[in-house]
Structure 1
Amino acid sequence: MRSPIRNEIKIEEERRANKLFIFLFFVSVILYDVYRFIISPLIDPDTTMILLNESKALIPLMIIYAIEFSLIPISRWYSKRQQPFATKYLFFVVFMTTALVTEIFRYIGTDEMYASGSPVELFFVLFSPLFVNKRFYITVVAGITGKYAIMGFLTMSPIVVFPILILLLFSGITFIILNRFQSYLNTIVKSYEQAAHNEKLAFIGRIATGVTHEIKNPLTSLKGFVQLQELEQTYNPKYSKIMLQELERLTIIVNDLMVIGKPQSINLKPISLTNCLEYVVSLLQQEAENKQITIYTNFPEEQVQIMGEDVRLKQVFLNLVKNAMEAMPDGGEIRLKLVNDGDWTTIHIMDRGVGIAEEGIPHLDQAFYTTKENGTGLGLMVSYKIVEDHHGKIDVHSEVNHGTTFSISFPILSHSLDNTVVNLASYQGNKEHTL
């Protein structure tokens, strides 16, 4: 089976070759006719100026030109139908048919000696390598040779042997050039296909690394709480609740990683943003202490609610707080602040870590972009996607060696409570809301 990449390259190259071919074809035809009908009679007094002295000669010439120019829209139609390969055959067959018919009417039944040899015919031979197609080359050589053979037979003229020999000479040169073109193009296509294959393997590897990284966090939490229960040798409802939430987060992580190739659906309903943040802090508190990091919180006394999906938002805050912790390998402090600002509820996550270079900030929402040595570039991409699905936005302010502030904003609940539950389905960037 032919490679889709190879097919795509051939179609695009054929279209480009067709444009050059059509342009050069008409240049050759028009220049040849100008020479034989106008310039040649002026140079050679013995040559009759047919267009002035024989007005009937204009009619077949105009018909031929009308037919040839009508091939341009036809060739465009073939190109739009992903069949640009037919264009070169179309022009060749039409030209050779009109040339043969014209010569038959001119020479058959007259005493005039057959003399032909249009440079346009050589144009077809010499420009065959333009299409890197041996079938077209054979068609051109066979067609032109056949025309001379037919006219030589009908006119009983041995003079056709000379143009046939010239044609075969030029055909040999053209065949060598054609082979070189094919070899060169095949080398390029193979290199392109190999590069695409390597890129695909690298992409799969990065996806696998990213999945491992994202799943590792909740698995670590689950392992820790299982070990705590074994040590205490008793059932602790608090541990079980957290473990169930982490299992649910594992499912959400896997689903969110599928945003790369599959649309996602979420259910928005009133949730406590305060509880989400407190859960994240409690989950990461021990790890922060081990890294000599202090987490400070500044939340309003009353519960702050938004329209959202609890587990997904926890994943966002976990990603951002863990990133802040990783940005401070020597310890430090992280501050979480929750404020209502006009029509928005905003969570500020501030650290005093290594910071992010200004030119890197616009790329944080891109897959596989990371500023960390062992990062995967998936955590922030997923976080941005989740916030976007919640009608929110993320602003980043950072200064290298001074710290970073992530500000995650969501519409306040009063602007979202017209519907108790909103089913949000996202497909190729378009969202549908089912009330």
Structure 2
Amino acid sequence: MTLSTALAQVRHLETEIPGPRSRDLMARKQEAVARGVGTTMPVFAVRAGGGVVEDVDGNVLIDLGSGIAVTTVGASAPRVVDAVREQAEAFTHTCFMVTPYEGYVAVAERLNRLTPGTHTKRSVLFNSGAEAVENAIKIARVATGRQAVVAFDHAYHGRTNLTMALTAKSMPYKQGFGPFAPEVYRAPLSYPYRDGLDGPAAARRAIDVIEKQVGTPAALVIEPIQGEGGFIVPAPGFLPALADWCRANGVVFIADEVQSGFARTGAFFASEHEDLVPDLVVSAKGIAGGLPLSAVTGRAEIMDAVHAGGLGGTYGGNPLACAAALAVIETIESEGLVDRAQKIEMLMKDRLLRLQKDDPRIGDVRGRGAMLAVELVRPGGDEPDPDLARAVSAAAHRQGVIVLTCGTYGNVLRFLPPLSISDELLEDAVEVLTRAFAES
């Protein structure tokens, strides 16, 4: 695999974490940046590539976060860098709705080919995952003539008003920001570790709630693998049963693949693991190697239900982001990164399962591909232990490993390494995590 930078692919601590220059910059941040913008790591980056991030003090950190699943092909993948440079020299913006350009069309063509299903598709491009989710619902409402939308327990769909309504977790995403958009309802998710139900039984429970409390909604929106909610993988059969119900009732099935798409789970889209063919697929995060881009791709008859001029935005499908997206897709396909995600899963899951055998506080090890997590509980049961999650992640941070937490209860450690990371860095990261558990 071609590394994206000359940056040494080894963890190295030049100073304590954070170092003096990062502390100075954090003081400046506190004076200049709104308090509501938090940070996971107390360091400031200057370079990143492969599987590492270098900070302003010369510390080189192992990256198990990928900028929250964004830099899937690496933070400065060569094809992406070259494509963006070439496009910037040509033009940085014209607005596709004013004078269109080929890059937007080419990205739409690739998405129509790559998303699940052989039906005729259309795509539309936006800037962020939340914006794409919101537009998917707009499309579904026009196509069906109905307004109600069903989301699920533990869901995260974004920070705009409508997507906050869809999101299940209050703090920090919703607290104090209401009132939220109406006609949003919630159904129970399949959560194998906590509910003990098989997929069909969990689907029957969810459908019963929907039919009794909502009736026939415009759309059902769900993450094939939960993201912020805790990397929850529904039990086999849950998602296909919901999709079957949607088809039988004329409900638009929207797969939010913002975090799980673009090779992250060992398939190009996580829906493929159960041969799921959504009506609409939402993409973002890993789509453009770090440039702002998102998309809605779906059945042509649904996508084309919206009147001309009803979809778009000034920056949606920016030419730089489109060039990056085309380079990301080429990188994934030419470098076999779908297979690489599967190898990362085998390596990391094996180590995490071994760690679980020796530590009763690791209640569950789950995920697919390079989208993995451990759920932490108090010994002797399944009571969530967010304090342990904070302690372990902080210990890992001090030793130069970027680890993120998530989950409705704040008790999940999630691992999202770039697919360009080496086996040696993964092994080192797990060793650090093992020591972090021992110290916590």
Q: TM-score range by the shorter chain?
A: under 0.3
Q: Which has the higher helix share?
A: 1
Q: Answer with 1 or 2: which has the greater Rg.
A: 1
TM-score normalised according to structure 1 size: 0.24
